[in-house]
């Protein structure tokens, strides 16, 4: 069953049914896990670091399962309960409210109207995330109010704009190809949970001694992520999906 998000949008020459461009797949289609699995592959490096830390904890007397639980659930990970009312506010924002509201706004609303206005899908991939990136620029005001130096604030804001823009471009592409905003929300939540991928630091001896494995995991993840776009191109698409349009 597919429930349309929008019924129609105005164009100069008439009306275009936006439902042609976007629908929520309920229940999720078989293609829905593809964006999340594709995103997880990109984090092979950070996941390898989690494995290294879990092994260290296990060698320190904890079972491996308990070690993973300690790393994934706690102050820096998932809250230890499914009751949202008991979650810290930042976890609710980053893992639930933020991904849902931002994907519904910047993908489910913006993308169909850009397409209905005549913007080609490929251009939409690069135009739509501009709004998503600029929506995060306001954090600069908070940093300045907290007393951060102006130059550092500018650099941090530009950096944040760049990585939010890149994620927005990927999320737009995934939506165009799968026609399923729910799977894009899952990707967003996963990325917020993992944070930005970081390379091993010499100051972190526990991980740095295994840097060869970590670098190999990063290379493997990037390779799989790149190859994943081939899967996107060959995967069957829902009827009337955005991905049915020619990228020109």
Taking the chain, what is the end-to-end CA distance rounded to the nearest angstrom? Answer: 30
Write down the pLDDT at residue 41.
93
Write down the pLDDT at residue 72.
67
Residue 23: in which H helix or E strand, if any?
strand 23-25
Tens-digit pLDDT string for the chain (248 aa): 333 333 334 344 444 444 444 445 545 454 568 889 999 999 999 999 888 877 776 665 555 566 666 666 655 566 666 666 677 777 888 888 999 999 999 998 899 889 888 889 889 999 999 999 998 888 888 888 888 899 999 999 999 999 999 999 999 999 888 888 888 999 999 999 888 888 888 888 888 888 999 999 999 999 999 998 887 766 545 444 554 444 44
Rg of the chain (C-alpha set): 20
Write down the pLDDT at residue 7.
34
* Active site members: 102, 136
Exposed/middle/buried for 60, CB within 10 Å: 0-12, 13-18, 19+?
A: exposed
* Residue in the block written with tokens 């830390």: 53
Count of CA atoms in the C-beta half-sphere (13 A) of 134: 6
Write down the pLDDT at residue 202.
86
For the chain, the structural domain boundaries read 30-72+202-235, 90-198
Q: DSSP string covering 71-128, please?
A: HHBSTTSB-S-S-GGGS-HHHHIIIIIHHHHHHIIIIIIHHHHHHHTT--HHHHHHHH
195-213: burial string, b at 16+ Cβ within 10 Å, e else: eeeeebeeeeeebeebbeb
Write down the pLDDT at residue 203.
86
Write down the pLDDT at residue 138.
85
């Amino acid at each position: 069953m597919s429930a349309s998000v929008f019924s129609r949008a105005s164009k100069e020459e008439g009306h275009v049914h936006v439902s042609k461009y976007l629908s929520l797949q309920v229940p999720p289609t078989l293609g829905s896990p593809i964006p999340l699995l594709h995103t997880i592959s990109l984090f092979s490096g950070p996941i390898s670091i989690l494995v290294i830390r879990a092994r260290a904890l296990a060698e320190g007397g904890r079972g491996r399962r308990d070690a993973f639980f300690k790393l994934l659930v706690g102050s820096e990970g998932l809250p230890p309960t499914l009751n949202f009312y008991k979650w810290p506010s930042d976890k609710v924002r980053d893992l639930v409210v933020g991904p849902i509201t931002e994907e519904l706004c910047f993908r489910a609303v913006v993308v169909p109207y850009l397409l209905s206005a005549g913007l080609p899908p490929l251009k939409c991939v690069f135009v739509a995330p501009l709004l998503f990136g600029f929506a995060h620029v306001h954090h600069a005001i908070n940093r300045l109010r907290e007393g951060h130096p102006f130059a550092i604030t500018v650099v941090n804001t530009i950096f944040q704009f760049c990585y939010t823009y890149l994620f927005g471009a990927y999320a737009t592409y995934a939506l165009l190809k799968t026609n399923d905003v729910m799977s894009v929300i899952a990707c967003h939540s996963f990325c917020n949970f993992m944070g930005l991928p970081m390379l091993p630091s010499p100051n972190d001896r526990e991980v740095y001694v295994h840097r060869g494995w970590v670098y190999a995991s990063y290379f493997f993840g990037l390779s799989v992520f790149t190859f994943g776009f081939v899967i996107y191109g060959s995967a069957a698409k829902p009827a009337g999906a955005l991905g049915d349009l020619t990228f020109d």
